[in-house]
C-alpha cells in the first residue's frame, strides 16, 4: 500500500482518562440512540471499564436492538471462569443493560475445533451485516484484539499464541498461582478493519509508546495498531499520558489532532 493510500486517524486528547472514557461512552450511547439496531464490536481489559460503567450509569439508551461481537477470548477458559472475557462482559456490561443475551457474541475458546469456531465467528459477523462501530484498546506492544506483533494486516479470526508481555500484563486477572492460557481466539486485523467505524481508547503512560508507533511509526506488522491507518474512519481517544510520545506539532500540521477538555 502506498503512503498516499493511508489515512490519518482523528486524535482527541483529553486531560484525564476519565474524560477520554466518558467521551467514548458518549459516542457509543449516541450511536445506539440514533441507530437502535447497531452492531458493536467490544473490547475487554482495564481500559474500557470506565466506558462500560459510564454507559450503565447514564442508562438512557436501550440496548434491545443492539448486537455485540467481542474481539477475543482465551482458549481453554470456560465462560464462567472469572478471568474469561465472557465473565468480564457479563459483570461489567451485559448484566446491567437490556441487551438480549442471544445478541451478544464472544469467540468460543472452549470449542473442540478452534479453527471451525474461528470461521463460524467470521461468518456470524458477516451474516449480521458487519460491525458498525468497533471499540479497541491497545496493548503495550501495539496489539489490537490479541493480534500480537507480526500479525498480518489482513488476518482473520484465528487462534494466536500470546506474547510473554501480554501474558504478564493480564496475569492480574487470574487467581494467584494460576498461569494464564498461552493462546487465544481473536478477530484478525483484517476482521477489525472490516468494521465501518473504529474508536480506539488509550489511557496511561504505559501506552504512550504504542500510540506513537501506531500513529506516527511505519505501517507494518511490527505494530499491529499501525494497520488502523489503512482505515478511513478511525478516531483515537487518549489522555495526555498516552499521548505524551506523539509529535503533536507534526500532527497539527495535518489537522488530525484535537485537544479536548
Which residues are catalytic, by number?
72, 141, 143, 148
Cα distances (angstroms) measured from residue 95 to each of 81, 89, 90: 16, 8, 5
Q: Is 137 in the site for ligand PGA (CB under 6 A)?
A: yes
Q: How far apart are the first and last CA of the chain?
A: 36
Q: Find the binder of ligand PGA among 41, 139, 181, 190 (CB under 6 A).
A: 139
Residue that has been written with the C-alpha cell 506523539 in this structure: 246
Q: Is 83 in the site for ligand PGA (CB under 6 A)?
A: no
Look at residue 209 and give its three-state secondary structure: helix
Q: Is 45 in the site for ligand PGA (CB under 6 A)?
A: yes
Three cell numbers written together for 123: 461468518
| Count of positions on this chain that bind ligand PGA (CB under 6 A) | 7
Q: Find the binder of ligand PGA among 46, 111, 167, 241 (CB under 6 A).
A: 46
Smallest gap from Cβ 146 to ligand PGA, in A, equals 8
Report the candidate in 99, 92, 117 with the shortest Cα–Cα distance to residue 107.
117
Q: Which stretch binds ligand PGA (CB under 6 A): 40-48, 59-67, 221-229, 236-244?
A: 40-48
Distance of CA 92 to the CA centre of its chain: 15
Q: Is 141 in the site for ligand PGA (CB under 6 A)?
A: no
Phi, psi values for residue 136, rounded to 5°: -130, 150
* Chain residues in the site for ligand PGA (CB under 6 A): 45-47, 137-139, 143
Amino acid at each position: 500500500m502506498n503512503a498516499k493510500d493511508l489515512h490519518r486517524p482523528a486524535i482527541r486528547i483529553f486531560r484525564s482518562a476519565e474524560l477520554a472514557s466518558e467521551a467514548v461512552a458518549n459516542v457509543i450511547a449516541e450511536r445506539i440512540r440514533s441507530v437502535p439496531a447497531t452492531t458493536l464490536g467490544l473490547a475487554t481489559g482495564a481500559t474500557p471499564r470506565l466506558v462500560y460503567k459510564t454507559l450503565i450509569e447514564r442508562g438512557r439508551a436501550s440496548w434491545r436492538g443492539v448486537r455485540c461481537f467481542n474481539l477475543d477470548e482465551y482458549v481453554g477458559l470456560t465462560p464462567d471462569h472469572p478471568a474469561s472475557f465472557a465473565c468480564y462482559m457479563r459483570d461489567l456490561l451485559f448484566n446491567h443493560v437490556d441487551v438480549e443475551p442471544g445478541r451478544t457474541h464472544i469467540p468460543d475458546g472452549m470449542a473442540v475445533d478452534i479453527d471451525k469456531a474461528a470461521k463460524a465467528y467470521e461468518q456470524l459477523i458477516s451474516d449480521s451485516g458487519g460491525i458498525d462501530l468497533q471499540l479497541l484498546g491497545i496493548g503495550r506492544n501495539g496489539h489490537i484484539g490479541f493480534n500480537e506483533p507480526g500479525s498480518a494486516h489482513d488476518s482473520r479470526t484465528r487462534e494466536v499464541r500470546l506474547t510473554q508481555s501480554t501474558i504478564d500484563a493480564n496475569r492480574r486477572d487470574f487467581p494467584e498461582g494460576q498461569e494464564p492460557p498461552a493462546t487465544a481466539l481473536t478477530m484478525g486485523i483484517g476482521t477489525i478493519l472490516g468494521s465501518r467505524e473504529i474508536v480506539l481508547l488509550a489511557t496511561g503512560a504505559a501506552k504512550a509508546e504504542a500510540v506513537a508507533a501506531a500513529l506516527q511509526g511505519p505501517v507494518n506488522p511490527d505494530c499491529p495498531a499501525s494497520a488502523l491507518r489503512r482505515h478511513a474512519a478511525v478516531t483515537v481517544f487518549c489522555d495526555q499520558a498516552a499521548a505524551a510520545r506523539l509529535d503533536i506539532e507534526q500532527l497539527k500540521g495535518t489537522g488530525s489532532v484535537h485537544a479536548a477538555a
